[in-house]
Chain A
Amino acid sequence: MKKTLLASAAIALASTAAFAADGIPVGHLADLTGATASVSKPYSQGVADALKYLNAQGGTGGKAIAFETVDYAYEVPRAMAHYKKLLDQKVVAIQGWGTGDTEALVSFVAKDQIPYFSASYSGHLTDPNGKTSAKAAPYNFFYGPSYSDGCRALVEWAADDWKKKGGHGKAKFVHMGDNHPYPNAPKDACGAYAKEKGLEILNPIQYSLKPGDFKAQCLSLKESGANYAYLANTSGSTISLLKSCETVGVKTQYMGNIWGMDEASLKASGEAANGMVWVVAAATWADDNAGMKLVREISKISDPSGAEARPVHYMRGVCSAFYMKEAMDIAATLPGGVTGPNIKKAMYQKKAWVPAGLDGVCLPSGWKEDDHRGTTQVMVYQAAVKGADISMKKVFTADIPRRTEWLGW
C-alpha cells in the first residue's frame, strides 16, 4: 500500500515536470477510438511523424515543436476541455481533426487568435471574413480541396464520363451520406453544380457513418436508377455500403469523397469497389519521386522497418504539418515572433506553395487573407480490383474555377 502510494506520487511529480519542456507549444487533436478512427489514425500518425521529423531536423527557429497527440474520441466536449488546457499551455497553433471539433471551435479560435489546421475540409471554413457563410472562420486553414470542390470535380468527371459512354438524356446523380455536418457539407453546393453541368438530381439517400447493413439503402439506390452516386461518408461505412450494394446487384458508378476510400479500404471492399472513383489530394505511397522519398524517411519514425504502406491520408497529414511549420518559420521573422496572428499572416506570404522537400507530394497551395481556399486543384483516382490484384490510377485532374460566389460554399 505504501509502495503504491510512493510510486504514484513519484509519477505525479514526474508528469508535472514533463510539461515544463522547452519548445513552441502546438496542439494536436485526433480521433483514435471514435466514429472516424479508421481514417484519423493514419492522418494523425502523418502529422505526429512529420512534427517529430521536423524536430529532429532542428525544429522551427532552433526550437522544437512541443506537441502531444490527444484522442478526443470524436466527442466534442472532450475536445473543448482539451482546448482549454491548450490555452493554458499558450499554444500558437492547433492541428485539429474532424468536423465535430472544428465546427465547435471556429469562434473560439477566432477569439483567441490561434490558427486551426483541420482535417475537416468543409466549404464554409474557406470564408475567413464571413462574406458568404453565416460564420466567419478567420483562423481556420486546411490543406487540400474543400469537400464542395472535391464533389464538383467528381461531377465534372461524371459529366465527362457520361458523354464518353454515350449516355442518352440526363445522367442521374444522387448524394448519399449520413445526416451529419461532414457528409452534408457539399450537398447543396454539389447539387447546384451538378444541375449546371446538366445532371438530374435525385433525392438524397441516407446511410450511417457507422458501418452496418445497408441493403435497404442499396435497394432504394437500385430503384432510383441513379447513374452516379456520391458517397459522402468515411471509408468505414462506405465499405459496408459497397458490399451491401454488390449483394443487391446495384449498377451505379460510385464516387467517393476524400475520406471515402484508401488502399486498406480497397482491400476490405474487394471487387465491390472495382471502378470506384474518389478524390485524392496528395501523392500515393506507390508514387516514386523526390518528395515521396522524404515521406518514406518520415514514415520510418513510427515504422522503423519501412515495411508499412501508408494510406493516402498519411501524406496529407505530413503536408498539413509541414505547411504549419513553414508558416511558423516565416512568423519567426515577423515582429512579435511565433504567435497565432503572425502564423496567420505567414500563411498568406507564398503562392503556389509546396513545402521544402515535398515536391510531388503536396499540391501547390496558396492562401489569401479573404480566401482560405488553399488549392482548387482536385485529382480523381479510379480503383481497379480483380481478385487479389488491387491498383488505383489517376483518371482526371480538375481545376475548379475560383468563383466568388463559391467562397464559403
Chain B
Amino acid sequence: MISTSLIPCGQYKTSYAKDTTLFETPVSRAFCVAGVVLLLALPQLGVSNYHLTLLIQIGYLSIAALGLNILVGSTGQISLGHAGFFGFGAFASAWLNNKFGVPVLLAMPLAAVMTTGLGLLFGIPAGRLKGLYLAIATFASQFILEDFFARADWFSGGSSGAMAGTASLFGFDITGDRAYFYVVLFWLVTMVLLGSNLLRSRDGRAFVAVRDHYLSAEVMGINLTKYRILSFGISSFYAGLGGALYGHYLGFVSAEGFTILLSIQFLGMIIIGGMGSVMGTLMGTAFMVLLPEVLEIGFGGIRAVAGDVAWLTSGLAYAKQASIGLAIILFLIFEPDGLVHRWKLIKSYWKLYPFSY
C-alpha cells in the first residue's frame, strides 16, 4: 500500500503516545468531529426520507464492509462468505427479539457476538488454508449458511423469513428513518473507532504482519492460526452487527437477501474503497450505494431531454447491474489502491501546490 502522509511542518510529537493517536493532525481530528456533528444534525435539517435511507444503507453496509476490510485488507485472508455472516446477524437479532423478548437495541450487539462465535467456528478450518483454498472454504460457508437460513424454521422462519421488531428505548419506539438514523450513526462511529484502534494495537500489527509476510511473522513468534481465526471472529462481529441493523431497519428478514452476490458486493466495496484502510471502506460503500442512484438521475435526465424512449426503463435496469461490475474492473485497472489512494493524491496535490510533481 502506498501511503503518503504529509504532515505540515510545525506538527511535532513529544511522546510515543502522542505519536500513535488515531488522527495525525488536530485539523483532521477537527474535520472528523465536525463531520459527525453534521451527521447528527442532518435529520433535523429536513433532509428527505429518501436521502436518509441512502445514508442508513451506507451506514450498516460500511460496518459490515469494515469487518471484511479487516479480514481481507489487513490480514490478507480472502472471504467469499461475508453475506452469510451478515445474514446470520440479521436473523439472530430477530430471533433473540422474537423468541426471548430481548429488547432490540440489546439484541443487536448480542447477535453480533453470536455471529462472532460462528465466525470463529468457520475460521478454524480457514485458519490453516491460504489463497484459492481459503476462498473455496469461505465460499462453502456462504452456501452452508444460505441453506441453513432457508430450512431452519425455528431460527429464521424458513423460506418465508422472519419479522424483525422495531427498536425501542425506555418505552419510546424508534420508528421512522429519522430516529433509526441515530442508532445506525451511533454504531457506525463506535465500530469505526474500534476498527481504527485495532489497526494500531498489538493485535492489529500482528494482522498486518500475517498479511505482509506470514513466514517472517511466524518466525518472529506470532501465532498464525490464532491471529487468522481471531481475524475471522472480529470480521464476523462487524458483519453480524451490520446485519442486525439491516434486519431491524427493513422490519423483515428473508433468506433470499443474503446470496453470494452480496458477498461479492462487499468485496467490491473494499476493492473500490481501498483495502486495509478504514476511510476507504466508507468511501467504497458510499460509492456502491450511490452508483445505482446516480444512474437513475442520469437516465431521468435523459428521459426529460429525449422523451419517453422505449429502451430507457430496461436500459436503466441493465445499466445498474452492469455498472457495479464495470466499476470494479475499472478500479482494478486504473486505481488498484482504491478511492482512498486517489483521495490522498488529491490532498497531497493541494498540500504541495504549486510544487506537486
Contact = CB atoms under 8 A, between A and B. Distances in A.
Interface of A: 8, 10-12, 14-15, 17-19, 32-33, 48, 69, 71, 73-78, 80-81, 84-85, 87-88, 100, 103-104, 107-108, 135, 179-181, 184, 302
Contacts of A108: 251
Contact of A104 (B48, B151, B254, B305): B254
Nearest to A9: B301
A29 to B, nearest CB: 12
A84 B50 contact: yes
Given A73-B317, A81-B54, A100-B254, A181 B301 contact: no
Contact of B320 (A10, A12, A71): A71
A81 B57 contact: yes
B313 A71 contact: yes
Contact of B301 (A14, A77, A100, A184): A14
Contacts of A81: 50, 53-54, 57
Nearest to A52: B308
B310 interface: yes
B50 A71 contact: no
Contact of A77 (B49, B151, B257): B257
Given A11-B302, A12-B301, A77-B250, A103 B50 contact: no
Contacts of B305: 11, 14
A69 B310 CA distance: 12
Interface of B: 48-50, 53-54, 57, 150-151, 158-161, 163, 177, 246, 250-252, 254, 256-257, 292, 297-298, 300-305, 310, 313-314, 316-318, 320-321
Given A85-B50, A184-B160, 13 more contacts: A11-B297, A15-B297, A15-B300, A17-B304, A69-B313, A71-B320, A73-B321, A84-B49, A84-B53, A100-B254, A107-B163, A108-B251, A179-B150
B250 A80 contact: yes
A32 B321 CA distance: 11
Contacts of B158: 179
20 contacts: A11-B305, A12-B297, A32-B313, A33-B314, A69-B313, A73-B321, A77-B246, A80-B250, A81-B54, A81-B57, A87-B49, A100-B254, A103-B160, A104-B252, A135-B163, A179-B151, A179-B158, A180-B256, A184-B159, A184-B160
Given A71-B313, A85-B50, A184-B159, A76 B254 contact: yes
Of residues A48, A77, A302, which shows the largest number of chain B Cβ atoms within 10 Å of its Cβ? A77
A15 B301 contact: yes
B42 to A, nearest CB: 16
A33 B300 contact: no
B250 A76 contact: yes
Given A33-B318, A103-B161, A104-B250, A88 B301 contact: no
A346 B297 CA distance: 35
Contact of A302 (B49, B246, B254, B310): B310
Contacts of B161: 103, 181
A14 B257 CA distance: 34
A16 to B, nearest CB: 8
Nearest to B249: A80
Given A12-B301, A15-B300, A81-B57, A88 B317 contact: no
Given A81-B53, A84-B177, A108-B251, A11 B301 contact: yes
A75 B257 CA distance: 7
Contacts of A14: 301, 304-305
Given A104-B250, A302-B310, A88 B49 contact: yes
Contacts of A48: 313
Contacts of B250: 76-77, 80, 104
Contacts of A88: 48-50
Given A76-B256, A107-B251, A108-B251, A179 B177 contact: no
Nearest to A303: B310
A336 B300 CA distance: 32
B242 to A, nearest CB: 13
A184 B159 CA distance: 8
A11 B301 CA distance: 5
Contacts of B321: 33, 73
From B160, B250, B251, B298, residue with most partner A Cβ within 10 Å = B160
Which of B57, B250, B303, B305 gathers the greatest number of chain A CB atoms within 10 Å? B250
A261 to B, nearest CB: 23
A181 B302 contact: no
Contacts of A17: 304
Given A33-B318, A100-B254, A181 B300 contact: no
Contacts of A104: 250-252, 254
A88 B46 CA distance: 12
A209 to B, nearest CB: 9
B304 A18 contact: yes
A21 to B, nearest CB: 10
Nearest to A18: B304
Contact of B159 (A19, A74, A179): A179
Contacts of A15: 297-298, 300-301, 303-304
B216 to A, nearest CB: 43
A8 B14 CA distance: 49
- 3 closest Cβ contacts across the A-B interface? A11-B301, A71-B317, A15-B300
A77 B300 contact: no
Contacts of B317: 32-33, 71, 73
A73 B305 CA distance: 26
Nearest to A44: B313
A289 B56 CA distance: 52
A181 B297 CA distance: 33
Given A15-B297, A88-B50, A181 B314 contact: no
Nearest to A31: B317
Nearest to B250: A80
A81 B54 CA distance: 8
Contacts of B257: 75-77
A73 B54 CA distance: 18
In the complex, which of the residues B150, B257, B305, B314 has the most CB atoms of chain A within 10 Å of its own CB atom? B314
Contacts of B159: 179-181, 184
Nearest to A135: B163
Nearest to B303: A18
Contacts of A32: 313-314, 317
Given A15-B304, A81-B53, A88-B49, A103 B256 contact: no
A233 to B, nearest CB: 13
A59 B156 CA distance: 45
A75 B256 CA distance: 8
Contacts of B150: 179-180
A32 B312 CA distance: 12
B61 to A, nearest CB: 10
